[in-house]
Structure 1
Amino acid sequence: MKFSKMHGTGNDYVYVNGFEEQIENPHEVAIKVSDRHFGIGADGLIIIMPSEVADFRMRMFNADGSEGKMCGNGTRCIGKYVYDNKLTDKKVVTLETLGGIKTLQLQVEADKVVSALVDMGEAILSSSLIPVASALPEFINQPLLIANTEYKVTCVSMGNPHAIVYVADVDAIEIEKVGPLFENNALFPERINTEFVRVIDATNIQMRVWERGSGETLACGTGACASVVASVLNGFCAYDTPVRVHLRGGILEITYKKDGRVLMQGPATHVFDGEISL
């Protein structure tokens, strides 16, 4: 199987051209290639495929083999892959995902994509759609007891579910202990991605993320989007104002529009190409 290793702010995936490669067992392949000791090493597997409703279609699989609905950093890297590899000459590309159709505006330098602005669509706040097992119509700044500690949680879906928690010191969080307790809590019937956020000021926040199925990653595009949405809803940031999200892998710029749409701007980086026997 031929592949490309790419990352968006350190959130790295193995990318496969599904126009040429046929993967019969992507769940198993994702586990194999993601292994950082015995495989290629990645947060998961992304397959770029034909679409009947958009320019391209993505399927993404987490490191544990589970299929995810969306990957914000992955969308930008797909934009780079299809343009740099001449699968398209368009600088505005539509992408079909299980979380809806996303529109990518590609920033090109020297005939290579360096970054992309992605219209991530509208943030979903309905508890039943995220989903959150709560009678509340929206789950904003609500208490949740985890390991005898009460956290205030705001839940947002960006095509995949997120729980945003505000903390005084992001670096001090024992994320490998706390992350799985959030991920597998009964409140979240489809598990949850958890963002631990410190508000720096009205246009800057710091974030660490525990992704369902992958553990801690250096960045999460949908998580950065959800965190800015939550920060606006909780009064820390403002609508229609770009917010810089400081992740362990770099910085993403997120804007939560008053009409509910979320825009994400960030880099896309090619690491290397290769071939692996399955």
Structure 2
Amino acid sequence: MNIHFFKYQGAGNDFILIDNRDLSFKDTDNNAVLQLCNRRFGIGADGLMLLQNHADYDFEMLYFNSDGNLGSMCGNGGRCIVAFAKHLGVIDQETDFLAVDGPHYAKISEEGNWVDLQMIDIDNINKDGDAYVLNTGSPHYVAEIQNLKDYDVYENGKAIRNNDTYKEQGINVNFVEDKGDHLFVRTFERGVEDETYACGTGVTAVALSMAQHNHQIGHIETPIKVLGGDLKIQFDYDGKQFTNVFLCGPAEQVFEGEISI
């Protein structure tokens, strides 16, 4: 079967996108996802998304990790699929779409390369020692690290993701260094089982955790730098709940093509 696909990236987080409004790509075929996401024998990507019709929303987003399994919410993936939906003519400048963690609102620039994606509200951040643990659509562990650029994110992230507490369900592991005018973040992602250039739900988790850590209150905008570029998180925090949470950043089409699977 020939598959017509598009490749998008958001701050270095890269995805295969397929217009599946005709349901020709079966979402149970995890071997196909695994093959397509393979960087040596396929297209190569951190994950694969299907854009599908939904009766109550502009579209539905189905996200698969590069290991072939259906994944939890992917923030940068959500921004990329919004740009994809605009490219297809499914939406204009704003949208309400459905993802695995519920409905999401997003708005896109007229040029189509910058997307502000509303994330879920958060009212519960737990602690694991000095680290923070929360779910921003996907589960995240957040630890503050000094000299992060030289830190072994792969080995340390892998150890935390596979320890006795998190091994069964898995967790995404984020390391953050406060640089004063921005936060520098590196992430080990479950499902990819490696460090990625960016993680949208991860940087969201980091920004909220650091706001609580630093006792910030009010409307907050947090610049984030990741290996793949710049992102921004903006939200309101009253000391108890995080609301109006937006993940903001670039979403760009890299190429399109056809591949046989």
> TM-score, normalization: structure 2?
0.92
Contact 1:49 1:57 in 2 (8 A): yes
- Does residue 13 of structure 2 align to residue 11 of structure 1? yes
Deviation sequence 1:222-264 (CA, Å, 0-9, x none): 1010000000111175541211110000111101312522111
SS for the counterpart of 2:164 is coil
Per mean C-alpha deviation after superposition, the further-off stretch among 100-109 and 245-254 is: 100-109
Name the amino acid aligned to 1:3: F
Corresponding residue number in structure 2 for 1:205:
183
- 1:147: which partner in 2? none
Residues 181 and 104 of structure 1: CA distance in aligned 2, closer, same or farther (over 3 Å) = same
Secondary structure in 2 matching 1:19 = coil
For 1:231 and 1:256, locate their aligned partners in 2 and report how far apart those are by CA, in whole Å. Answer: 12
1:22-56 Cα distance to aligned partner (Å, 9 max, x none):
22244212211111111101001111111233211
Contact kept in structure 2, 1:57 and 1:97, CA below 8 Å: yes
What residue in structure 1 maps to residue 55 of structure 2? 52
> In structure 1, what is the equivalent of residue 118 of structure 2?
119
1:95 pairs with 2:97: yes
SS of 1:181's partner is helix
- Aligned match of 1:246: 225
Say whether the 8 Å CA contact 1:2–1:273 is kept in structure 2.
yes
Q: Superposed, which structure 2 residues align to 1:41-190 within 5 Å? A: 41-88=44-91, 90-109=92-111, 113-123=112-122, 125=124, 138-140=125-127, 142-143=128-129, 152-188=130-166, 189-190=168-169
**What secondary structure does 1:242 align onto?**
strand
Verify the 8 A CA contact 1:232 1:239 in the aligned structure 2: no
**Does the aligned pair in 1 maintain the 2:59–2:97 contact within 8 Å?**
yes
- The amino acid across from 1:187 in the alignment is T
String of CA shifts for 1:154-203, please: whole Å, max 9, x gaps: 011111100001000112221221122111222224210010100112x5
8 Å CA contact retained: 2:60, 2:99 = yes
How far apart, CA to CA, are the structure 1 residues paired with 2:186 and 2:169?
21
Equivalent in the alignment of 2:43: 40
Residues in 2 aligned to 1:20 and 1:186: alpha-carbon distance in whole angstroms: 42
Q: Which residue of 1 aligns with 2:171?
A: 192
Distance 1:91 1:245 in 2: 24
- Give the gaps of 5 or more residues in structure 2: none
Alignment check: 8 A CA contact 1:239 1:255 kept: no
C-alpha distance in 1 between matches for 2:18 and 2:216:
38
Q: Contact 1:104–1:119 (CA<8 Å) still a contact in 2?
A: yes
CA distance change for structure 1 residues 58 and 18 in 2, over 3 Å: closer, same or farther? same
Q: What secondary structure sits across from 1:198 in the alignment?
A: strand
Higher relative contact order by CA 8 Å / sep ≥ 6: 1 or 2?
A: 2
Q: Structure 1 length as normaliser, TM-score? A: 0.86
1:260 to 207, 230, 242: 242
Match of 1:134 in 2: none
Counterparts of 1:240 and 1:26 in 2: how far apart (Å)?
A: 43
CA contact (8 A) 1:34 1:45 kept: yes
Q: Tell me the matched-pair count.
A: 252
More off after superposition, 252-261 vs 231-240? 231-240
Identity %, equivalent residues: 28
